[in-house]
Amino acid sequence: MLENLEKRIKRQVHGKLHRFTAVVPLGFEATLVQELRQIGVAAKDDSFETADGKVTFEAKLTDAWKAVAYSRIANRILMDIASFKAENFRELEKKAAEIPWELYLPPVPVTPDTVPVHVTCKHSRLYHSDAVAERFYDVIKGGSLPLVRTASLSTPSAGTPRNAPPQDRPSSQNLFVTLIDDRCTVSLDLAGEELYKRGHQRFVNEAPLKETIAAAMLFEAFEQEQSPITLIDPMAGSGTFSLEAAYIANGLIPGKCRDFALKHQPAFKDATWNYIIKQEDVIAAITILTSDISDKAVEIIKHNVEASPLPKGCINPEKRDFFSYTPDKIEKLRGESQAVIVLNPPYGKRLDANAPKLYADIGKKLSEFKGCTVAILAPKGACTENLLKNCAALGSPSTKVIKTSHGGISLNCFVGKIF
């Protein structure tokens, strides 16, 4: 029986192409496509389709594993395991029962904790998401199982831990069920927890920037420069930009020390995974200069560096006001290297002062740093208008503008050279 299952896995899971969806921060879909190609994900015909917050492609399972291990920008990698028409619960149950679950899910007790089912219904006769989830639990388990709601994760408060090390129990086997126009698509999450969690504990300041957005901004900024690079992170907060840059500088792949859901799925092969992750990223020539006006932020960054697998001394945060930087200081810091300045200024909950005035002042200061590449987030509206009014270079046609969002706030990401 076991031998037969192994043959079916080899033929039906490893032996053919599957459709995958990479979930990505809104606006950075094209950035993720570039990254996936650099990683070496061999999509069929090198074709990647983009939509709002998603990149879809066809590839072998091992290529998706590579994306899980190496991508710094994707939030999730989902594998489609079934797609069918369902206009009523009888059709839904019948088609769900035809899915060979033993090929995809490990032999664990099926509960909303071990196999969370996330349902989205749009323009479909089956519109009750909890009822749809219950049917899937019944089918997978082979019996009745009451649906238990799982609490949603809230944004950590200042100084609280995030991205804690993996628990003793295996990562949850998340299923995503999407019903759109009566078409049901069932997808298996290969990671379990979202990929922005890098596998080690990080403390956060107010409204921290997600690691995947920070990595995407760095990717875009670094694409515009030649090595070596001096990264200046002068409003560091929790140090997310600096930590992501340090991973890149030291050739550390983000998924190397994580216990992903895929490791507990029937198709997992230790030897294949070990071969994938032993191919370290190329070490980049990046010097990182990190500062913040807050003593608390500096202490948080120090803790986050110590808790990470990064070598000591790669990030040495100091207390400094962004507005105290001068062109001469920047020139001295960068030396012969190319300077990249990354900024996630306060907005929303983090900002007590007059926001438009702050962004006007930031624009004036940035306009002084001729020859530097800048990557900055700015809320849409008056903040963006004041930033561009006072830093004309960021409003030039050569500047890349990416429309994104974070924490429910619509943002513009500007990446361009100051001239």
Tell me the per-residue pLDDT of 11-39, one tens digit each, with 9 for 90 and over.
999 999 999 999 999 999 999 999 999 99
Do 223 and 332 have their domain in common?
Answer: yes
Do 179 and 236 have their domain in common?
Answer: no
Residue 367 pLDDT greater than 90, yes or no: yes
Do 102 and 233 have their domain in common?
Answer: no
Domain annotation covers residue 268: no
Do 235 and 102 have their domain in common?
Answer: no
Domain annotation covers residue 343: yes
Quote the CA–CA distance of 6 and 13 in Å, as a whole number.
Answer: 10
Do 233 and 142 have their domain in common?
Answer: no
What share of the chain has pLDDT > 70, as a percent? 90
Do 317 and 228 have their domain in common?
Answer: yes
Tell me which range, 199-208, 209-218, 271-280, is most confidently predicted by mean pLDDT.
Answer: 209-218
**Residue 350's pLDDT band (cuts 50, 70, 90):** low
**Residue 2's pLDDT band (cuts 50, 70, 90):** low
Containing structural domain, residue 390 = 211-253+281-417
Do 44 and 80 have their domain in common?
Answer: yes
Do 399 and 315 have their domain in common?
Answer: yes
Residue 52 pLDDT greater than 70, yes or no: yes
As a whole number, the mean pLDDT across the chain is 89
Residue pair 132/121 in contact by the 8 Å Cβ criterion: yes
Do 362 and 309 have their domain in common?
Answer: yes
Quote the CA–CA distance of 153 and 2 in Å, as a whole number.
Answer: 38
> Residue 416: which of 404, 400, 403, 405 has the closest Cα?
400
Do 114 and 240 have their domain in common?
Answer: no
Domain annotation covers residue 198: no
| Residue 221 confidence (pLDDT) | 97
Place of tokens 């530097």: 372
Q: What is the CATH number of the domain that holds 129?
A: 3.30.2130.30
Domain annotation covers residue 342: yes
Domain annotation covers residue 261: no
CA distances from 154 to 16, 160, 162, 404 (A): 39, 12, 11, 20
Q: For the chain, how many structural domains are there in total? A: 2
**Residue 349's pLDDT band (cuts 50, 70, 90):** low
pLDDT in tens, 391-401: 999 999 999 99
Mean pLDDT of 138-147: 64
Cis peptide, bond prior to residue 161, ω within 30 of zero: no
Domain annotation covers residue 156: no
Q: What is the CATH number of the domain that holds 387?
A: 3.40.50.150
Domain annotation covers residue 57: yes
| Residue 340 confidence (pLDDT) | 97
**Residue 347's pLDDT band (cuts 50, 70, 90):** confident
DSSP 340-407: EEEE----GGG--S-HHHHHHHHHHHHTT-TT-EEEEEEETTHHHHHHHHH-GGGGSTTSEEEEEEET
Mean pLDDT of 105-132: 92
> Residue 186: which of 77, 96, 65 has the closest Cα?
96
Which of the 8 DSSP states describes residue 87?
Answer: S
Do 302 and 175 have their domain in common?
Answer: no
Do 140 and 10 have their domain in common?
Answer: yes
pTM of structure: 0.90
Residue pair 147/133 in contact by the 8 Å Cβ criterion: yes
Mean pLDDT of 53-70: 97
Domain annotation covers residue 380: yes
